[in-house]
A and B are shown apart, each in its own frame.
Chain A
């Protein structure tokens, strides 16, 4: 399972907004602390002022403080050791506005002319609290406006800014060997895209160089190998044509001859795989499979008769593949060869086409390897002398033709199914 993919710009915006939000929260917290300090200082000033006043009253007219709302003063025996004034915020009813407001209470001790007093003063702090809340009330809308602006800019700019990038991607997606240099150059003032374009062009050049070198090598090898093989083959045939070889000599020449044949087939098969991989078969068209399969079945009749095989065909005349006709031929030939080779003597081979695709089914012994390895190169079944390239060629053909091939061994039958995934 691959993770969900997001656009770069969306990702960038997401993280940008996330960081902005975090920094907004941090600055809001700092602002709030500043506001707190400020508030405390103001209140402290006012309490200080009041304390002076109380001290004055206690000195000159102490009775005045009895039952006063100005401050609650009580005479005590001594001041607790190490006492620090403390504050508590509480909700209280405001007598004038008849509304509950936040008040701050300061509790402290005073010593006036040798007498100790515990003093409790209250002061309204509502406005200051509201100021503190305002910090958040301002920061949040500002953040939302900023986020909206960024999203809008992203939406408008993504089309324009990323245009060259999308065009480079388009060129990459539709690139075929042999196009290097023929693609229209993409102009961009974005450093990264320009660099990407240059690297892509350089990569294209490299791919093409490698490809043409490989192609040349394959062609050369094919040519240089086949000519000596022709000579060996002809010479051995000539030796065998002379009627004067001893049995041992004939056996040896025969071995040379057979290995030469094998070598030549190997060269041809590998060459074919390379040609398929290089996508040299480009005569792609829609071909009705029924008549082609009929033709192939006709040509292998003697081979099937030899093994007394029955061919049961159920061919849909409408079934078609979009493929190079040469490749279709090679594919069918190899599938048939494979079915005939591994079919049990006297059994039945089923060839079916229809909406579910194309199926080749033959009875036979279970493979002595993992089923998914059946398409590997040089994979041969149960001691067979073949090259072991036929099915890997079939697989290659399916790959370049947009077809899917599957294999399973079920209830004594080998089942090959070829489907066109896009037609469903």
Chain B
């Protein structure tokens, strides 16, 4: 998978690139519209993460150009401009998704995977991890071929954890992922704990290992190698 990150802040670009490189992506960075234009003109990418506020113009202008070059390139708009206008514009121009800063890396990761999965036709829509299989098209998870009886939220949570395996998922990022703006940050996170507890129970009842670890009381991590 080839990924282009268009973002003027080098630190952030580096962070995002490193993160996806560790996940097996080939990443490249562009800091201006001009650089991005040159790269898109020469190479083809599976996904472009595009910041809108670039020093030499608005990233929105690039969306059309990218799609003209390679129809198969997915675009995820990343911006600090949290206005509905920009959101609608971005999606209307053909962006696949939209994420506002500051974002959780886990959220970005989940979105990227979700976009790519939708874009890739015919391929396997399954994630396999030891005895656990997540069937993305059927929205089902199985352990040793036993279907887990998950609620919608539990399935979403499991997928979020699996996409971000071996990463700390803070309670804030889980809450934002599952409840979006409805989540009230001031409230306690007990209901996340309830979901985690149920998920653990259902996995272990089906004969799965304990993949979900609690981290520093701050969040959870899905460990791919529980020993």
Contacts and interface: CB of A to CB of B under 8 A. Distances in A.
A34 interface: no
Contacts of A306: 187, 190-191, 194
Interface stretch (A263-271, A344-352, A416-424): A263-271
Interface in A285-339: 296, 299-300, 302-303, 305-306, 326, 333, 336-337
B131 interface: no
A227 B11 CA distance: 10
A72 to B, nearest CB: 109
Contact of B182 (A222, A232, A300): A300
A28 B167 CA distance: 103
Contacts of B153: 302
A302 B179 CA distance: 9
A40 B82 CA distance: 95
A259 B165 CA distance: 26
Contacts of A232: 102
Contacts of B114: none
A300 B191 CA distance: 11
Interface stretch (A16-24, A235-243, A368-376): A235-243
B224 interface: no
A57 interface: no
B84 A281 contact: yes
A397 to B, nearest CB: 13
A257 B103 CA distance: 12
B149 interface: no
B177 interface: no
Interface string B148-190: 0000010000000000001110101100000111111111001
Majority SS at the chain A contact face: helix
Interface stretch (B64-72, B199-207, B215-223): B215-223
Interface residues of B, number: 43
Contact of A234 (B100, B105, B185, B190): B105
Contacts of A272: 82
B84 A231 contact: no
Interface in B70-88: 80-85
B9 A227 contact: yes
User: What range describes how many residues of A lie at the interface?
Assistant: 35 or more
A302 B191 contact: yes
A227 to B, nearest CB: 5
Contact of A231 (B11, B85, B182): B11
Contacts of B84: 281, 326
A240 B215 contact: yes
Contacts of A337: 182, 184
Contact of A230 (B53, B101, B194): B101
B225 interface: no
Contacts of A302: 153, 179, 191
B120 interface: no
A271 B82 CA distance: 8
B82 A280 contact: no
A266 B85 CA distance: 20
B216 A229 contact: no
Nearest to A229: B102
A341 B15 contact: no
A250 interface: yes
A193 B182 CA distance: 53
Nearest to A296: B182
B127 interface: no
B1 interface: no
B117 interface: no
B104 interface: yes
A384 interface: yes
A241 B184 contact: no
Nearest to B15: A234
Interface string A76-116: 00000000000000000000000000000000000000000
Nearest to B181: A333
B218 A257 contact: yes
Interface string B90-113: 000000000011111110000000
Given A240-B219, A296-B182, A299-B179, A230 B12 contact: yes
A340 B173 CA distance: 21
Contact of A385 (B106, B166, B186): B186
Contacts of A341: 184, 186-187
A348 B188 CA distance: 20
A226 interface: yes
A74 interface: no
Nearest to B105: A234
A227 B170 contact: no
B184 A240 contact: no
A347 to B, nearest CB: 16
A219 interface: yes
Nearest to B172: A261
Contact of B80 (A227, A262, A280, A385): A227
Contact of B218 (A222, A233, A254): A254
B65 to A, nearest CB: 22
A167 interface: no
Contacts of A213: none
Interface of B: 9, 11-12, 15, 53, 80-85, 100-106, 153, 166-168, 170, 172-173, 179-187, 190-191, 194, 215-219, 221
Query: A-B pairs with the 7 shortest C-beta distances?
Result: A226-B80, A226-B101, A230-B102, A386-B186, A223-B80, A229-B102, A250-B216
Given A237-B167, A254-B218, A300-B182, 11 more contacts: A226-B102, A230-B12, A232-B102, A234-B105, A237-B105, A245-B216, A260-B102, A261-B185, A264-B102, A280-B85, A303-B184
6 contacts: A223-B53, A224-B80, A226-B80, A230-B103, A238-B15, A241-B167
